[in-house]
Amino acid sequence: MTFTPHTDDEIREMLATVGAGSVDDLFEAIPPTLRLMEPLELDVGLSEQEVVDELGRLAARNRSLDELVCFAGRGAYDHYIPSVVWALAGRSEFSTAYTPYQPELSQGVLQALFEYQSMICALTEMEVSNASLYDGATALVEAVRMSLGPERRRVVVAGGVDPRLVATVRTYGAGPGLPVDQLAAPDGAGGAPASFDPDVAAVVVQHPNVYGVLEDVAAWADAAHAAGARLVEVFDPTSLGVLASPGELGVDIAVAEGQSLGNHLAFGGPYLGILAARMADVRRMPGRIVGETVDVAGRPGYVLTLQAREQHIRREKATSNICTNQTLMAIAATIHLAWLGPAGLRELGERCAAKAAYALDALAAVPGVELAFPGAPVFKEFTLRVPVPAAAVVDAMVERGILGGVPAPWLGDDALIVAVTERRTRAQIDGFAGALREVLA
């Protein structure tokens, strides 16, 4: 028995309004391989105990990092999370808090978000941050939207930007017809072009990029600004203890995936979208911005200051339809950054870089393994070429208790991206190299 809240007449009216011939037409953008093309068969009449047992059986099919040594990255990383982070973020005042529309009831959450914004501004050396977005990909889309103008509707993406991020921008841009051009990166970091066309609104660069290679962000900024375009940088928050900040490099809008700041891998989410910009763009920023003020008695207080979304201003003047954020994940990131401090962030970056350098040498010494971009500077990730399909190597590594990287099929079926965080020990790296030598023998 199936229950749907809509009558056939209502469905027909809706389809006529949006110009679709059938309900299936609404989902044609989703590949058939990802859609269930037959009725969903559900058992009915199960007891609570039976449901819990079945969910447990299904969950046991996953293998977690409690049993696998993780060398996978590409946007989601196995960093150490101090116990204080979720001891505080998991308190009911934070974990059950709703949108802080009533400041008199929400000072704790609002102050925490104000501290988050302040820390993101200090981290990036940018002038303003919002109170977070859904994830890094969403933050990039919103940064591109912030860059658009009446005569500027084109986006140019560096060749080293993660294809998943590019696909997300193209998906959001399909409706308004936003052209997105990705350049080549034959050496892992293609370098900034000499110039851009006058209709380019945003130039996007990732640093470190999807291959782990460091980009010359300042050169990209100079080229973009010479053409009147904004430069958007996708950055790694854990790198800013050792690499120059977006603000120092001349970036206009900085975005990041914030999972690496105090948030668990959690099988893919929820994660955290970071966005920071110059004050000139503050009224174009999506989501929420928390401000500090004083009450009638002169005591400090916190309120939602700017929300340029369609729920709060006239729809035609809205710059975004983002209607929520990842408050809990942002609070975890705030606690983690406070725990690290500037010295801890620098130490974290140095340890990641040193261990990645050791792993790069150890893995490149395995017979048949080569660096995809020899000599290119990297931070905590690098790309290898292996003599067999990378996906087969990953599967073989899992059998040996190692999550051995992420394949990069757009680069070739032999390309493997390896990530090394501060959690990896010399013994684990040597064990990975030995297991890889065994698999490729």
Q: What is the pLDDT of residues 305-339, one digit of tens each?
A: 877 655 566 666 666 777 677 899 999 999 999 99
**pLDDT tens by residue, 363-387:** 999 999 999 999 999 999 999 999 9
Q: Is the pLDDT of residue 207 over 50?
A: yes
Per DSSP, the three-state class of 138 is: helix
Domains and CATH numbers, the chain: 69-80+345-440 (3.90.1150.10), 83-336 (3.40.640.10)
**Pick the residue with more confidence: 82 or 102?**
82
Q: Which residues 6+ apart lie within 8 Å of 162 measured at CB?
A: 74, 75, 206, 209, 210, 234
Checking if the pLDDT of 390 tops 80, the result is yes
Task: Look at residue 409 and tell me whether its pLDDT is greater than 70.
Answer: yes
Contact 146, 284 (CB under 8 A): yes
Those residues with Cβ within 8 angstroms of residue 438's Cβ, 6 or more apart along the chain or in another chain: 400
Q: Is 104 helix (H, G, I), strand (E, B) or coil?
A: helix
Q: Is the pLDDT of residue 84 over 90?
A: yes
User: pLDDT tens-digit profile of 31-67?
Assistant: 889 988 888 777 678 899 999 999 999 999 988 898 9
CA 124 to CA 253: how far, in whole Å?
A: 10
| pLDDT in the model for residue 316 | 67
Average pLDDT over residues 101-114: 90
pLDDT attached to residue 1: 44
Token pair, residue 174, equals: 């399909």
Span between the terminal Cα atoms of the chain, in Å: 56
pTM score, two decimals? 0.90
Per DSSP, helices labelled H in 19-162 are: 48-59, 83-89, 92-95, 107-124, 136-147
pLDDT at 2: 55
Q: Report long-range pairs for 46-51 (Cβ below 8 Å, ≥24 apart).
A: none
* pLDDT above 60 (res 292): yes
Kindly write down the DSSP assignment for every residue of 242-291, as one continuous string: TS--TTTTT-SEEEEE-TTTT---GGG-S--EEEEE-GGGGGG--S-EEE
Neighbours of 283 (CB within 10 A): 11
Q: Is there a contact between 421 and 89 (Cβ–Cβ < 8 Å)?
A: no
User: What Cα–Cα distance (Å) separates residue 437 from each residue in 66, 71, 191, 368, 397?
Assistant: 24, 16, 34, 9, 11
Asked if residue 208 has a cis previous peptide bond (ω within 30° of 0), the answer is: yes
* pLDDT number for residue 310: 54
Local structure of 372: helix, strand or coil: coil
Give the tokens for residue 393.
């190597």
Closest CA to 208 of 422, 379, 344: 379
DSSP H/E element including 426: helix 426-440
- The mean pLDDT value of the chain amounts to 93
Single-letter residue type at 44: V
| pLDDT for res 191 | 87
Which tokens go with 282?
A: 């503050």
